[in-house]
């Protein structure tokens, strides 16, 4: 059946329909372009929106401006350059970000930087004995207590915190002490041996 006959009877041919749709799309595109709003510039934080913070980290004092929402993990890594503390799950489950908070282990991803003011923070960098490895660090190296190494800083800090609270732990106490730190490589046996070795080294020294 001819489409030309449809036009004469008041119908719409396929050619006419497609032409109308194309025209509509063209008008819509022009209209939307004319009414488009400019992309807003990146938000700029004024100094008045920041808070002054003084941190005691590894025996040094740091004064800086921070946003109230910033975590201690973020400030340590991205503002102070202490990248030994690792981001992992960032929700308090893996322990890669473990630091010592007044000598007690704590997840820095779950701690606001402003909460740390007035407290002594120790990171993996602060456990070294000058330029030499500390006893826990040396024990981890001696016992091959790591594989990929990503969780190792948090594991070392957890063991350091344990030994500061309990200088002569049992193997079960070691297991409990590092239970909040996950090792996806499964090097737990070596980690436990390293903790026991570090305890012995600290007692001798």
Tokens of 96: 């890669």
Q: What is the pLDDT of residue 129?
A: 81
pLDDT in tens, 151-164: 999 999 999 999 99
Cβ–Cβ contacts within 10 Å for residue 3, how many? Answer: 13
Could you give the CA distance from residue 10 to residue 117 in angstroms, rounded to a whole number? Answer: 81
Q: What is the pLDDT of residue 49?
A: 84
Q: What is the pTM of this model?
A: 0.76
CA dihedral 95, 164, 197, 129 (to 10 degrees): 90
Domains and CATH numbers, the chain: 49-127 (3.10.20.30), 130-205 (1.10.150.120)
The region of weakest confidence among 36-40, 49-53, 119-123, 178-182 is: 36-40
Could you give the CA distance from residue 115 to residue 62 in angstroms, rounded to a whole number? Answer: 15
Could you give the CA distance from residue 24 to residue 79 in angstroms, rounded to a whole number? Answer: 54
Instruction: Report whether pLDDT(38) > 90.
Output: no
Q: What is the pLDDT of residue 90?
A: 95
Q: What is the DSSP letter of 33?
A: H
Q: What percent of the chain has pLDDT over 70?
A: 77
Q: What is the pLDDT of residue 130?
A: 83
pLDDT in tens, 20-33: 545 544 444 444 44
More reliable by pLDDT, 114 or 6 = 114
Cβ–Cβ contacts within 10 Å for residue 164, how many? Answer: 14
Query: What is the widest separation between alpha-carbon atoms in the chain?
Result: 106
């Amino acid at each position: 059946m001819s489409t030309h006959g449809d036009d004469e009877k008041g119908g719409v041919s396929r050619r006419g329909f497609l032409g109308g749709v194309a025209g509509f799309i063209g008008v819509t595109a022009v209209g939307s372009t004319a009414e488009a709003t400019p992309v807003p510039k990146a938000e700029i934080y004024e100094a008045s929106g920041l808070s002054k913070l003084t941190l005691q980290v590894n025996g040094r004092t740091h004064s800086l401006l921070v946003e109230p929402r910033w975590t201690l993990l973020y400030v340590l890594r991205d503002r102070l350059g202490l990248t030994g503390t690792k981001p992992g799950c960032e929700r308090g489950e893996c322990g890669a970000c473990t630091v010592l908070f007044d000598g007690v282990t704590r997840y820095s991803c779950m701690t606001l930087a402003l909460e740390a003011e007035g407290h002594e923070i120790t990171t993996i960098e602060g456990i070294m004995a000058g330029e030499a490895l500390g006893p826990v660090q040396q024990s981890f190296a001696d016992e091959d207590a790591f594989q990929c190494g990503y969780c190792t800083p948090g594991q070392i800090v957890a063991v350091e915190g344990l030994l500061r609270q309990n200088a002569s732990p049992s193997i079960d106490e070691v297991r409990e002490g590092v239970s909040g730190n996950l090792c996806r490589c499964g090097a737990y046996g070596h980690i436990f041996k390293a903790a026991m070795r570090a305890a012995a080294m600290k007692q001798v020294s």
